[in-house]
Each structure stands twice: as C-alpha cells, then as structure tokens.
Amino acid sequence: MEEEIVAGHKSGYVAVVGRPNVGKSTLINGFMEQKIAIVTPKPQTTRIRQLAIVTRPSYQIVFMDTPGMMKPRQKLDEFMMDTALSSLADAEAVIWVVDASVMPGAGDRAIAKQLSQMGGTVPIILAMNKNDLMSALQVVQHTEAYQALLPTPRWLLFSALKGNGRDELLQMVVDALPEGPRYYPADQVTDLYVRDLAAELIREQVMLQLRDEIPYGTAVQVEEYKERDNGILYIGATIFVERDTHKRIIIGKKGTQLRRIGQAARKQVEEMADQKVYLDLWIKVVSKWRQDERAVRRMGYKAG
C-alpha cells in the first residue's frame, strides 16, 4: 500500500556538484544510509549522473550525484562536464561541495563563476567538507575564503566521512525545496538498474586495486546478465583498457590480479543484489578510447 503524502510535502531534484574527489559520493551514500555511489580515493571516480532518492513522509529529495567539474582534456572529460552542467539546469536546489581543509583553488573559482551565472534563481548551499581535518584557525580562514567566492546565506561545515553535520545539511536541503509531489515510488532508491550498478562496482575495484594512470583508462560493460535455474545471478562483463601493458597488469601473474578484482567486486554485487553471483570478467584493449567521441559513446557515456 502506497504511503500517504502529507500536506505541505516537499520535493525536488538537487544537484550535488564540486571538484573531483571532494566527497560528493560519500555524502550521498551517507544521506542514503546505504551504498549507492562508488567511492575511491582517486579523482574522476564518478563518471555518470546517478540519482539517489531519499523519501520520507514529508519530503522526497532526488539527489543527482555528478562527475567532478574540471577543465576537460579528453572527450570523456567533456562528457563528464556536460553531465555536471546539465544537472545544474535540472536542479531545484544545488549543493556545492568543497574540500574546506584546503584553501580554494582555480577549480573552485571556476565552479563559483558557473554557479553565479544561475542568477540566484536556484537555492545554493555551500557545503564545506572535511571539517574534521581543520584547525580552529583554518576554520575561520578557509570558510571566509570560500564564502567570498560565492556569497550565499546557506552554508555549513561538515564531514561526509564521519557524518558530522550531515543531518543538518539534509535539513537545509529540505528547507530550500518547494512543495511538490513524489516523483518516484517510496521504495525506489536510484535510477540505475542492478546490471549498471554491477558495472560500476567492478570499475570501483579496478580503481581501488590499481595505481597510476591505469584506472582512468578503464571502462566496464556488462555483456550478459541473467539468473540461472539454480538461482545464481550470472554476470559477464568486459573491462576495457587502452594499452596491452594495462591488460597484462590487470590480469596479473597467472591471473591473480584479475581474480582479486573479481572476488572483491562479486562480494559487493552480492550484497547489493541480495543473491549469489557468478562473475565472469574479460579484458579488451581499445586504444585511446577516452579521446575518441564515438568510442566514449560506445562505452555507454552518452549525454542527456
């Protein structure tokens, strides 16, 4: 039975934007109280816009987790920037996440300029992350520096990792939203299918377990996805890389590295799907795919 919507119910799409690796996905997972978005210490982990839907009796917030905003260097970067900017156009409110443990840089100034062009038509919350890494002096200096970039009455210091201030930030979002209906069923938490989430979880393990430039040149596509008669979910996926040397590194000596990636990813997929999973991984080389617009599209990165 569908839960009754109360009078004064609030709803809206909220874009979560910021430089790469400032804690956007960690924040959204915290709001969701479960893992929806993949998280690694490496920049450019998030490549697509993923919806994370928080539904309560009095509100429904549709968070849009977006790629980190940066100066594009390749066609894949252009896709990610277009994705982030289109999310701003769709938003009823914006959370601008910054790493407050460091002073603002050129990337922060560029984002502030972009947000200022919205002309105050959409509420913007300046969410200053990593307050657990700051001294008392830095709190004063850094918050003043970020506020100077984009004066807004809505700002908050918090820690996405530890949760300090996260509930207060969520309430600020609710307060900023207009009254409106539910856009999604109360039990829906994301717009991605399990097969799409499986591809992201495999890529997460590639990023976590490999170093240097290799993770940035990888993409994952699920080629086969079906439940077998024995109840086991079979997933066949291809990991794309840009060089033969990268392929050898991912496979590892006698396939050990690939097995480690597969075992860790399978465990994550099983937790998400709540069933046994058989994960079959292959490696394929597509040279310089990140620089080729058609190849980027074939990998599933399509704007709009």
Question: Same domain, yes or no, for 96 and 159?
Answer: yes
CA angle 18, 72, 100 (to 5 degrees): 25
For 185, 201, 249, 266, the CA distances from 216, given in Å and listed in that order, are 35, 15, 14, 21
Find the helix or strand (DSSP H, E) in which 149 lies: helix 136-149
Query: What CATH number should be reported for the domain holding residue 96?
Result: 3.40.50.300
Terminal C-alpha separation, the chain: 33
Find the domain containing 203 and state its range: 194-298
Which of 145, 176, 207 is the endpoint of a domain? 176
pTM of the model: 0.91
Q: Which CATH number covers residue 283?
A: 3.30.300.20
Q: pLDDT tens track of the chain, all 304 residues?
A: 456 788 899 999 999 999 999 999 999 999 999 998 999 888 889 999 999 999 999 999 999 999 999 888 899 999 999 999 999 999 999 999 999 999 999 999 999 999 999 878 899 999 999 999 999 999 999 999 999 999 888 999 999 999 999 999 999 999 999 999 999 999 999 999 989 999 999 999 999 998 776 778 999 999 999 999 999 999 999 999 999 999 999 999 999 999 999 999 999 999 999 999 999 999 999 999 999 999 999 998 875 5
Contact 55, 182 (CB under 8 A): yes
Residues 6+ apart with CB under 8 A from 230: none
Mark whether 208 and 280 lie in a shared domain. Answer: yes
Residues 254 and 163 in one domain: no
Domain-embedded: residue 2: no
What is the number of domains present in the chain? 2
DSSP class of residue 48 equals S
